[in-house]
Structures are given as structure tokens and as C-alpha cells.
Amino acid sequence: MRPGKLKIKIQFPAFILLLIAISCSAPKKIAKQDDKTLDYLKEHITYLADDKLEGRRTGTHGEKLAMEYISSQFQAIGLAPKGTEGYIQPFEVNDGKKINDTTSFSINDEELQLGKDYFPFPFSASQSMEALPSPALQEVEMPWFYDINDGIQDNSHNPHFDLNNYIYTNAKKAIERGASALILYNSSDADDGLQFEAKDRQETLSVPVVYIKKEAAKKYFGDLSASLKIKFNISLGEKTR
């Protein structure tokens, strides 16, 4: 038994010494390789994260710079181009909603200017309509008029108030009560900041929802009891690029 134990004691330290020798030399080689890799990665990240690339957002000049840089790096390391345009493979990106050119709106046979006088909300249905409603009345299967001034005033001290959500919620309520369209305006002098929000992701409603801007509202909605000849075609589509 003793010779066996003595033999083990002699071999075991030798094995440990071998491991120590390997462990002392290997990290130096690995560390050097790691440094090169880190420097290589840092160079690319520094360029791609630069402010001039504008976050590489879709459609920006920064995106184009990033595309050209990555393509040049692929070429430099010898990768074969597999895209339909060299290293580039174009594809469509959904960029929200757009107002189609066929959209129109007239009151009493006077054509309103899209953008200047009115705009449909992105959750509006795409429909055509002719009607003779009165802003003061809310009749079933007729366009309803809605002054958002009350909502703005009631929430003037509410930091969490979201006007777009308020409009969407009230539009749904109007539809449930029988409105065939919703025409909104703001009778106050306060700036509501409303505009067409192409990125709005709220579900499309079943009726048209249109905003009439201040000057046009003052011109046509001065007498709320009067009947107005309304004719419009609202057409929205998906914006891609």
C-alpha cells in the first residue's frame, strides 16, 4: 500500500504544476485576442451609435449611412452579396396611416381645404356621405357635431389628460347612440394642438370622424340651429415605404 501512495504523491504535484504552467500562458494569448476583438467591436459600435446616424431611424439619412457602412464592412471581410441589390434587400415598412388624395369635405357647397380647414382622425372610417344635419341636434343615423371645448376646460388641471383618447372614447359613445359620423370642433380660443397623427394605432371606428379647424368652425358653426349641407369623402390608407 505504501509504494502506491508514494507514487501518487509524486505524480500529483507534477500534474498541478502542468496546469499552472498552462493557466499562466493561455490567458495572455486569449487576452490579446480579446483586446483585438473588443477594439474591433468598439470601432463599429462607435460609428453606428454616432449622433449623425440619427438613431438609424427608418427613412432618415442616418439609416442610409448605416446601410452603406455595413455593406462596406461585409464587402471588406469577403461576404458574398445575397440581396436583390448587392448587399441590400429592400422591403416595405408600415409607417402608419395616410390621408388619400381622394379625401374631400364641403359645407354648403363650399369646398374645405384639407389640412388648413379640416382633417380626418387616423381612426376614422373611410366613407362617403351627403347629409343635411343641424349642429344642435343629435339624430340617429345622422352626422353629429361635437364641441371638444367642454372636455378641454373640464380637464384643464389634469396633467394626465389625453385629448386624443378623450376624442376616441367619446366617438365610440356617439356611435353606440346612433351617430353616422362625428364632426368635431373647438369653440374656445385655446390651442388644442390637434393634428393628423399618422402613427396612431387605435382601432379604426365604424364611422367617419373629422375635425373642423377654428377658422372654418367659426365661419360655418356660428348658428348651431341652422341646417348645414354636408358632403364628404374620407379615404385613409396604410403608409408604407
Where are the chain's structural domains? Answer: 2-76, 96-240
Phi/psi of residue 234, nearest 5 degrees:
-100, 125
* pLDDT tens track for 95-116: 789 999 999 999 999 999 999 9
103: closest CA among 75, 81, 126?
126
> In whole angstroms, what separates CA 210 from the centre of its chain?
21
The fold for domain 96-240 equals: Glucose Oxidase; domain 1 (3.50.30)
Residue type at position 2? R
For cell 462596406, what's the residue? 72
* pTM exceeds 0.95 for this model: no
Residue type at position 182? L
110 contacts 136 by C-beta, under 8 angstroms = no
In this predicted model, which residue has the larger pLDDT, 200 or 171?
Answer: 171
Q: Which of 126-135, 163-172, 188-197 has the lowest mean pLDDT?
A: 188-197
Q: Name the CA dihedral angle for 63, 64, 70, 72, rounded to a multiple of 10 degrees.
A: -170
